[in-house]
Each structure stands twice: as structure tokens, then as C-alpha cells.
Structure 1
Amino acid sequence: MSRVWIYLFPALCALVLTGVHHVEGMELFTSSELEAVNGTDLRLKCTFKSTHPLSEERVSVSWSFRPLGKTTEESIFHYQNSAFPPKTGMFKGHAVWSGDIMKGDASITLQNVQLRFNGTYSCQVKNPPDIQGFVGEISLRVIEKAAEGQKYLINWARVADSLL
């Protein structure tokens, strides 16, 4: 077995040193779960790091939504050099751009959150040639009205999220 390594190790080193392609990718950061009170505004924070320089022209952001209990997703927002909010559907007038590409921020804000917004939101960022990466997912729970103690916790959660 050790004789095999005597021949295999130099070959592997030669491949690595000659520039064998390595996988590059995006890193995405999102909260895994959020809670919002019906009728309030909520920022869906999605930040990213890329192995390539950022450019307003190259970076694209896509947001999609999957309702609770469903398997299909619908596109709700797109950004590439400018914001493309939804023109139809339940997120029309609700989803607005609140990110800053040059700072690695691909966030959107849901204005006047509705109970029907319960579900999973997915954020995907591409910065060619850096297109490999994960999709950030946020599970949102919309509640009718916060109890007094919950209001306090929700406000602190928003403060903590804004510091991240």
C-alpha cells in the first residue's frame, strides 16, 4: 500500500500545483427564521461574500417564495443593475429593494406584511464567474398581533438583526 503512495503522491501534487480547477462560490448569510406582526414592515436580510470583485453590472439577485405546505416556488423579486420588483401577484407593492450590492447586501423589505406571507423565502446571488453557491433560506412566520412580551422580543430581534 505504501508503494502506491510513493507514486501517487507526486502525481497528485503535480496536478494541484499546475492549477487544477477548484470550485469557487458565493457565501450567503441569512437568518433561518423570522417572525413578523401582520401589517408591519420586515427586512429580509441576505448578505454575501464573493471570491471575485463586485460589480453592479454583473451581480444578480433573485428572491423567491414558497408558501407553507407547498412545494413550488414563485419568483418575487430580481435585481441586476437596478431593482425589478414584482408587477403582479401578492407581493406587488410589498417587496422593495433595501440592499447595497457593493457592500455585499442583497436584502429586500416586505412592506405591510400579510398573514398570507407565511412561508419560506430564498435568496440567490450570482457574481459571474462566481455562480456556485448556496441559496439562503428564511422561514417567515406572520402573526396576527404580538402579545406585550412578544413586542419587546420582536423589537430586540430586529435590533440584533440590524447589527449583524
Structure 2
Amino acid sequence: MSRVWMYLFPALGALVLPGVHHVEGMELLTSSELEAVNGTDVRLKCIFKSTHPLSEEKVSVSWSFRPLGKMTGELIFHYQKSAFPPEIGMFKGHAVWSGDIMKGDASITLQNVQFRFNGTYSCQVKNPPDIQGFIGEISLRVVEKVSFSEIGILAIAVGGSIGVVLLILIIFTVVRVFRKQDDDMLVEMEDHRSEDQVL
């Protein structure tokens, strides 16, 4: 009966059979979305937690990149005992290690980001016998740099619009005041005429 039970539920059998080890998953924490200004640096943060002791020799980190609209990605960075930044491709000279394995940090920094860096970045950490439960993914959006001259032009445009609206309101108020005075004078003149006719 017990053998039939083990065949029907192999996962349960693995938990209760002596000598079979339960493999636990690695926990990862990343930002789901990031925005960076073209030409600046951005840190792709990947924090991990393992149920087994950390060591520089055992832990390995892989970062891959998937461009917008593509289904597959490419390995862009690897760390195991030391950093292995890309030596070819568009990330050469841009991807640098900024993590600390012993603190559970597998982050990298992209320097001088370009518009072509738009896409999804995946962080994968291994610490045998821990396997990774999830791959951390970050969606990066690179936006246009706003220059001081553009900000100045925008400020002038907004200020000018507000000035025009205020001028129109002032003119409208002055016209209403003068009309009211004219109406009051007409009423007063009519009253005088009425008094003169009575006399």
C-alpha cells in the first residue's frame, strides 16, 4: 500500500523518504520598473536571500538583457568570485559590478545609459544547493534629457500665458467698472430730468 502511495504522489514521497533532501528556492527582490535619463548612470538593484551560507566561491550571478519587442535575451554580465563584465557588444564599458555577495547584493550599474538600453533586465543568482525560485526582472525606460534652455523656454511660455490671462481679467474688470459708473451716471441724469420736469 505504501509503495502505491509513493507512485501516486512522488513529491510527497520525496519529503518523507530518508536520504532525500528538500531543495529550497532562492528569494530575489528587484524593482519592477526603472526610469533613467539618457547619458546618466542607473543601478539595477538585485537583492537575494539564501537559506544556505553565502561564500564568494559558491555564489554566481548572471544578468541578461531582452530588448523591447524581443522574446529572447542575451547574457550581459556574470559574477563568480570576481566580475566578468561584457567585453563585446553594446554593454561593453557600460555594465559594472556594484553588488556585495556577502551582503546578499547582486546589483550592477549601467553607466552612461543610451536609448538602445530600453528593455528588460533579468537577475539570476545561484548558491548551491539553493536553486532560484524566481528570476528578478527590471523593466528599464530611458528618457530624454531636459536641458536648462528647454526648462527656461517652458518657464517663459507658462509665465507668458499666465500674464496674458491676468491682463484679460484686468481689462474685463476695468470695463465692467466703467460701464457701471456710466450706468449710474445715466440713472442720476434721468433722475435730475424727472425732477426738472416736475418743477
Normalised by the length of structure 2, the TM-score is 0.64
CA distance in 2, matches of 1:31, 1:146: 24
What displacement does 1:119 show? 0.1
Measured after TM superposition, the shift of residue 21 of structure 1 is 3.8
Determine helix, strand or coil for the equivalent of 1:26: strand
State the partner residue of 1:67: 67
Alignment match, 1:141: 141
- Equivalent AA in structure 2 for residue 22 of structure 1: H
Q: Relative to 1, partners in 2 of residues 1:81 and 1:137: Cα closer, same or farther, differing over 3 Å?
A: same
Counterpart of 2:44, as a letter, is L
- Answer whether contact 2:23 2:129 (CA < 8 A) is retained: no
Give the C-alpha shift of residue 133 in structure 1: 1.7
CA distance in 1, matches of 2:129, 2:19: 17
Q: Which blocks of at least 5 consecutive residues in structure 2 are unaligned?
A: 1-11, 149-199
Equivalent-residue separation in structure 1 for 2:97 and 2:20 (angstroms): 39
Aligned to 2:92: 92
SS in 1 for 2:36: strand
**Alpha-carbon offset, residue 17 of structure 1:** 8.8
Return the TM-score normalized by structure 1.
0.77
Q: What is the root-mean-square deviation in Å for CA atoms of aligned residues?
A: 2.1
Task: Rate the CA distance shift 1:142–1:27 in 2: closer, same or farther, 3 A.
Answer: same
Letter of the structure 1 residue corresponding to residue 145 of structure 2: K
1:72 is displaced (CA, Å) by 1.3
What does the per-residue CA deviation read over 1:78-110, in whole Å, with 9 as the maximum and x for residues that have no partner? Answer: 000000000000000000000000000000000
State the identity %.
87
Instruction: Tell me the equivalent position of 1:28.
Output: 28
Q: Deviations over 1:30-79 (max 9, x none)?
A: 00000000000000000000010000000000000000001110100000
The 5 Å alignment of 1:38-57 reads 38-57=38-57
Higher relative contact order (CA 8 A, sep 6+): 1
- Structure with the larger helix share: 2
Q: What is the one-letter code of the residue matched to 2:96? A: V
Please say which structure displays the higher CA radius of gyration: 2
Call closer, same or farther: CA 1:147–1:34 in 2, change over 3 Å: farther
CA distance in 1, matches of 2:54, 2:26: 11
Q: Which runs of 5+ in 1 are unaligned?
A: 1-11, 149-164
1:16 CA drift (Å): 4.2
Match for residue 109 of structure 1?
A: 109
How many residue pairs get aligned? The number is 136
- Report SS of the residue matched to 1:87: coil
Alpha-carbon contact 2:99-2:106 (below 8 Å) kept: yes
* Displacement of 1:25: 1.2
**Given the superposition, is the C-alpha separation of residues 109 and 22 from structure 1 closer, same or farther in structure 2, using an over 3 Å criterion?**
same
Q: How far off is 1:22 after superposition?
A: 2.6
